[in-house]
Amino acid sequence: MGEAKQVIVVRKDLKMNKGKSGAQIAHAVMGQFLQNVRWDGISHGKMTGTVEVEGPWIEWLKDSHTKITVSVFSEEELLALYDKAKDLGIPAQLIRDQGRTAFNGVPTYTCLCLGPSWPQEIDPLTGDLPLY
């Protein structure tokens, strides 16, 4: 199967500075984790119970947490990848910035986190995209 990995897709056309793009990537990765990993809850500021994951999440969490960051050049490309991933059952977290510090106050889709997933599932979607 290969090593499970996440692929983060960032819009290059937005010309985000390093701080902004780093924050958006972090939102995507953290959002993906919180959306797909189940735990018992948070009590008194601490996570309680056991984390439950399945499939490639298990290998990804216990191994290297591999992440690859690639780019697209438009919102249309980003949204098309999101739709394809959802159709294929690949975990996908689409990030929409609220525009408070950038983008002239306009909410804007900035990036997408795919996976973790197996290479044979995720590479057909992202394997030809340029590194970010």
Say what the pLDDT of residue 1 is: 72
Please provide the average confidence, as pLDDT, over all residues in the chain. 92
pLDDT, position 107: 95
Output the pLDDT for position 9. 98
pLDDT at residue 77 in the model: 98
Predicted pLDDT of residue 2: 83
Domains of the chain, earliest start first: 5-126 (3.40.1490.10)
pLDDT reported for residue 44: 76
- Model pLDDT, residue 50: 73
Decide: helix, strand or coil at residue 25. helix
Question: Which CB contacts under 8 angstroms, 24+ apart, belong to 90-99?
Answer: 90/114, 90/115, 90/117, 90/121, 90/122, 90/125, 91/32, 91/35, 91/36, 91/115, 91/116, 91/117, 92/32, 93/28, 93/29, 93/31, 93/32, 93/35, 95/24, 95/27, 95/28, 95/31, 97/24
